[in-house]
Amino acid sequence: MRIDILTLFPDMFAPLHQSMIGRAEKSGIVNIHEEDIRLHTKDKHFKCDDVPYGGGAGMVMLPQPIVDCVRSVDPEGKARRIFMSPRGRTLDPYIAKELAQEERLLFLCGHYEGVDQRALDICGFEELSIGDYVLTGGELAAMVAIDVLLRFVPGVLGCAGSTEEESFSHGLLEYPQYTRPAVFEGREVPEVLLSGHHANIARWRREQSEMLTAARRPDLKK
């Protein structure tokens, strides 16, 4: 999979290249590239924003640098184009799985008060939100979306079953996990987990998931 990220702040993406995603990049499963929108401006002062027509607070990102940046990175229009915005569909595991099937993704990160609508229309961007709150820019949102979707790309997680067992995968929150030692500061690991009885362990985990979901996220229950 190839992911292009169009941003005015490419340095913000350093954390994305760490840990499991960094390993996936090294092994060639994913290729993530940040493109600095400012490199594509035709303005002699490298300006990328201006005041909004109609008045109002803040600045709006100019269409020209964005459209030229998109055309330079994806000249043949092969990538699914996503603009990170609180106006978009809210990211969930279904959307993440769907995006994980794509060969190419292109993320646009906005700043200031927004992006000239014509840039979004010309380039055919869909909008994606990570929740009902407003960030100072789309960069953190893009990192969240990319992290979430890459977990569904085969080979990114070490263990193939990991996304099956986790929170939300069956409309339930994940059960509690324990590792060694069996007793820590006087607290014991639930006995059933030491029993080696797989059916009982599975039942206990299911019950724990149901109890947690009912207590904390009753809205998840169908």
* Nearer to ligand ADE (CB atom), residue 141 or residue 150: 141
Question: What is the spatial distance between Cα 125 and Cα 134, in angstroms, rounded to a whole number?
Answer: 19
For residue 74 the two structure tokens come to: 């994806």
Query: Could you identify the residue written with the tokens 């869909």?
Result: 126
* Nearer to ligand ADE (CB atom), residue 132 or residue 185: 132
Strands 187-188 vs 104-109: parallel, antiparallel or unpaired: unpaired
134 is in an annotated binding site: yes
Nearest distance in Å: CB 219, ligand ADE: 19
* Nearer to ligand ADE (CB atom), residue 137 or residue 190: 137
74 is in an annotated binding site: no
What are the residues binding ligand ADE (CB under 6 A)?
A: 84-86, 129-131, 133-135, 138, 141
196 is in an annotated binding site: no
For residue 16 the two structure tokens come to: 């994305």
110 is in an annotated binding site: yes
Question: Residue 95, exposed/middle/buried by CB under 10 A (0-12, 13-18, 19+)?
Answer: middle
For residue 82 the two structure tokens come to: 């996503």
114 is in an annotated binding site: no
* Nearer to ligand ADE (CB atom), residue 70 or residue 128: 128
| Residue whose C-beta lies closest to ligand ADE | 141
Question: Residue 9, exposed/middle/buried by CB under 10 A (0-12, 13-18, 19+)?
Answer: middle
Nearest distance in Å: CB 29, ligand ADE: 25
Residue 197 DSSP label: -
Nearest distance in Å: CB 148, ligand ADE: 12
Nearest distance in Å: CB 32, ligand ADE: 18
Question: What is the spatial distance between Cα 164 and Cα 169, in angstroms, rounded to a whole number?
Answer: 6
* Residues placed in the known binding site for S-adenosyl-L-methionine: 110, 130-135
* Residues placed in the known binding site: 110, 130-135
